[in-house]
A and B are shown apart, each in its own frame.
Chain A
Amino acid sequence: MSTVNKRPLLTLVLLLCLAVVSGLSFLYLGMDFGALFSGDAGSQMAAYAGNFLRPDVSPIHLGAIGRGVLETLAMSLIGTLLAALAGLLLALPAAGRNGAALRLAARFLLNALRSIPELVWAALMVLAAGLGPNAGTLALALHTAGVLGRLFAEALENTPSAPAEALRLAGSGRFAAFSYATLPLVWPQLVAYTLYRWENNIRMAAVLGFVGAGGLGQMLYIHLSLFQEAQAATVIAAMLVLVLGVDSLSGWGRQRWVRA
Chain B
Amino acid sequence: MKPPLRDNPPRDPASRTRLSLAIVALVLLWPALQVSEFNLAALLDPANIHTMGSFLSGFWPPTGDPVFVALLARATVETLAMATAGMTLALALALPCSLVATRALSRARLLPNAEPGSLGLVLRWPTRSLLIVLRSVPEIVWALLFVRAVGLGPTAGVLAIAITYAGMLGKVYAEIYESVDLRPAQALVQAGSSRPLAFCYGLLPNALGEMLSYTIYRWECAIRASLIMGFVGAGGLGQQLDLSLRMFAGGEVAAILLVFLALVMLSDQLSAGLRRLLV
A26 CB contacts on chain B under 8 angstroms = 81, 85, 88
Choose the segment among B108-116, B117-125, B185-193, B259-267 that binds chain A (4+ C-beta atoms closer than 8 Å): B259-267
Q: How many Å lie between the Cα of A233 and that of B224 in the bound state?
A: 27
Q: How many Å lie between the Cα of A244 and that of B134 in the bound state?
A: 12
A128→B140 contact, CB < 8 A: no
Given A21-B84, A78-B33, A224-B148, answer yes or no on A134-B205 (Cβ-Cβ < 8 Å).
no
In the complex, which residue of chain A has the Cβ closest to the Cβ of B133?
A240
For B, the interface residue count at a CB cutoff of 8 angstroms equals: 64
Q: Which residues of A contact B (CB under 8 A)?
A: 1-3, 7, 10-11, 14-15, 21-22, 24-26, 28-29, 31, 36, 41, 44-45, 48-49, 70-71, 73-75, 77-79, 81, 111-112, 115-117, 119-120, 123-124, 127-130, 132-134, 136-138, 180, 203, 206-207, 210-211, 214, 220-221, 224, 236, 239-240, 243-244, 247
Q: Provide 8 A-B residue pairs closer than 8 Å at the C-beta atoms, listed in order of the A residue.
A: A3-B209, A24-B81, A25-B81, A48-B149, A78-B36, A221-B144, A224-B148, A239-B138
Q: How many Å lie between the Cα of A21 and that of B241 in the bound state?
A: 25
B231→A119 contact, CB < 8 A: yes
Q: How many Å lie between the Cα of A29 and that of B264 in the bound state?
A: 21
B52→A244 contact, CB < 8 A: no
A119 CB contacts on chain B under 8 angstroms = 140, 228, 231, 238
Q: How many Å lie between the Cα of A203 and that of B232 in the bound state?
A: 17
B141 CB contact (under 8 Å) in A1, A28, A220: A220
Given A36-B155, A127-B55, answer yes or no on A45-B149 (Cβ-Cβ < 8 Å).
yes
In the complex, which residue of chain A has the Cβ closest to the Cβ of B262?
A115
Q: Which residues of B contact A (CB under 8 A)?
A: 12, 29, 31-39, 42-43, 45, 48, 51-52, 55, 77-78, 80-82, 84-85, 87-88, 132-133, 136-138, 140-141, 144-145, 148-150, 154-155, 158, 180-181, 205-206, 209, 224, 227-228, 231-232, 238, 241-242, 245, 257, 260-261, 264-265, 274, 277-278
Q: A84 to chain B: closest CB distance in Å?
A: 13
A10 CB contacts on chain B under 8 angstroms = 277
A78 CB contacts on chain B under 8 angstroms = 29, 32-33, 36, 38
Given A22-B87, A210-B144, answer yes or no on A236-B137 (Cβ-Cβ < 8 Å).
yes
B261 CB contacts on chain A under 8 angstroms = 111-112, 115-116
A134→B138 contact, CB < 8 A: no
Given A2-B181, A220-B144, A224-B144, answer yes or no on A203-B29 (Cβ-Cβ < 8 Å).
no
Q: How many Å lie between the Cα of A134 and that of B39 in the bound state?
A: 6
In the complex, which residue of chain A has the Cβ closest to the Cβ of B241?
A120
Q: A170 to chain B: closest CB distance in Å?
A: 11
